[in-house]
Amino acid sequence: MKLKKQVTVCGGAIFCVAVFSLYLMLDKVQHDPASRQNGGGNFPRSQISVLQNRIEQLEQLLEENHQIISHIKDSVLELTDTGAVPPSGQLPFRSANGSWVLPFDGHPTFLSVKPQDCQFAQGRRGHTDLQMLDIYSLLKFDNVDGGVWKQGFEITYEPGAWDNEPLQVFVVPHSHNDPGWIKTFDKYYTDQTQHIFNNMLVKLTEDPRRKFIWSEISFFAKWWESADMHKQEAMRKLILGGQLEMVTGGWVMTDEANVHYFAMIDQLIEGHQWLEKNVGVTPQSGWAVDPFGHSATMAYLLKRANLTSMLIQRVHYSIKKHFASSRSLEFMWRQSWDQESGTDIFCHMMPFYSYDVPHTCGPDPKICCQFDFKRLPGGRVNCPWKVPPRAVVEANVAERAHLLLDQYRKKSKLFRSKVVLIPLGDDFRYDKALEWDQQYLNYQRLFDYMNSHSEMHVQAQFGTLTDYFTAVYKANGVPQGVRPPEYPVLSGDFFAYADREDHYWSGYYTSRPFYKSMDRVLHPADGRQAHRQGERGHRLRQQVSC
């Protein structure tokens, strides 16, 4: 440390001597008439002025540097002597001569860990069948090519596997709407989201067998405010009648990695209160297809908010493959500190790459894409696998139904019940009336054919997320939210997320630090705004607070 200080002092002294010598030399040249006459050609007046200005700037910078070093030195000495910490939130300020001064931030860059905290973390570890810390250390993350299911493996089955217990298929139409991504919230609403709600109101009413789910209450509330009483009542009827389900019920589909738990609670309260006040419903099932990884904190909050089941999607592909191979994609998610089962919530993990249609009907996206009828020839989107969908008609319905059922059966082999969930949607889908007709009419023809041919041993229909979970509980003979026999118990989280190869979605952990810091400062973390949330919000905050 002393050597470093000596080197710094010597270097500064040499620099100052060099600058001072240059200054004296130029000053002598400027004031010596003989030098100006004899050396006028070598030192024009313009060059001397430029050099003099640069030296003045250098002197000013040296002075500013001296002020900053003096300020830091004084702050360090003050902290050393008194242990005092200067007020937080100070910003850089200009000194009297206009230079910037950076105030010293006395906040520690780390927190000490108490031994009793470590003992609690180790000693309170509850018994579970699947502990994520162990699984992460077990896997190779080698990304072996699995064939048509690139990140998985070949799935086979016996044709008679469903002879005694038919396969139950729930196709769940959905549309994921980001409240701000490429466009702003208002731009998305104006261009697309409002049309989804308007079409929903008309198209779901046309056939009571049609179902849909929605999660982002911020968008739904904006539509509700502009709708007249007749539209509001019609939408309320669809919800109360079970054709439209509000899943999770949060104001947004919250991030689960960077966000503070209070913000997760706050947005959940905001959405739940809005639904209770305006529609009179309470969400039952959680739907999280687009957070970049999934936290045990969210599972805990949903459990405390009285949801009985939840779904997650963005999990590392190696974890999905590992769970699929042991049919552990559905489990009871338990907090790591829970010794019993008081925090358990039933969780469904989607097995494939994405939540879009090509990656939800089964393991082969080339086939599944043929049943995304928005991609019919003549539209703006097509199938990257170069095999387009075909409209379902009398002449091809048998072939189309058997091809699709094969995918349903293969997907069901990854789970422990003969009930299979098939999401049908993507980002900002169903904003055109044409897509509602394309998807619902073609799928209904397929369902009608499957259900009328008993030799196929399948019962297929549109459904909501809770329709699916209810069928799983019923198939296992347990009440809603109770652990089915032989289903595993898991503790831990699902970070960091990679969707393929080494594409890890972790850069956003540290991006835009200013905005993340500002969010922490501005968001109330002490419950002082509970009065505006209402009594139910206050109760929920009391339930989920540590």
Q: Are 375 and 382 in contact (CB under 8 A)?
A: yes
Helix (H), strand (E) at residue 466: helix 465-476
- State the pairing for strand pair 489-491/419-427: unpaired
Count of C-beta atoms within a 10 Å radius of residue 126: 16
Q: Which amino acid is at 311?
A: L
Q: What tokens were used for 285?
A: 């099932």
Q: How far apart are CA 236 and CA 227, in angstroms?
A: 12
Q: Are 216 and 174 in contact (CB under 8 A)?
A: no
21 DSSP 8-state letter: H
Count of C-beta atoms within a 10 Å radius of residue 410: 21
- Cα separations (Å) of 439 from 228, 241, 373, 462, 463? 28, 22, 5, 11, 14
Q: Which of 340, 334, 438 is nearest to 380 (CA)?
A: 438
Q: How far apart are CA 122 and CA 151, in angstroms?
A: 34
Q: What tokens were used for 224?
A: 């509700």
Q: Which of 376, 322, 324 is nearest to 348 (CA)?
A: 324
Q: Which of 129, 178, 255, 290 is catalytic?
A: 290
Residue recorded with tokens 């913000």: 263
- Number of helices and strands (H, E) in the chain? 18, 13
Q: Are 367 and 361 in contact (CB under 8 A)?
A: yes
Q: How far apart are CA 546 and CA 544, in angstroms?
A: 6
Q: Are 317 and 274 in contact (CB under 8 A)?
A: no
- Cα separations (Å) of 229 from 163, 355, 515, 540? 50, 34, 39, 30
Handedness of CA 273, 279, 282, 288 (dihedral sign): negative
Q: How far apart are CA 472 and CA 467, in angstroms?
A: 9
* 290: annotated active-site residue: yes
In angstroms, the first-to-last Cα distance of the chain is: 45
Instruction: Using DSSP, state whether 71 is helix, strand or coil.
Output: helix
Give how far the C-alpha of residue 283 lies from the chain's centroid of Cα atoms, to the nearest Å: 20
Angle subtended at Cα 62 by Cα 57 and Cα 67, rounded to the nearest 5 degrees = 125
Count of C-beta atoms within a 10 Å radius of residue 267: 19
- Cα separations (Å) of 446 from 166, 172, 328, 535? 16, 15, 30, 48
Which residues are marked as active site? 290
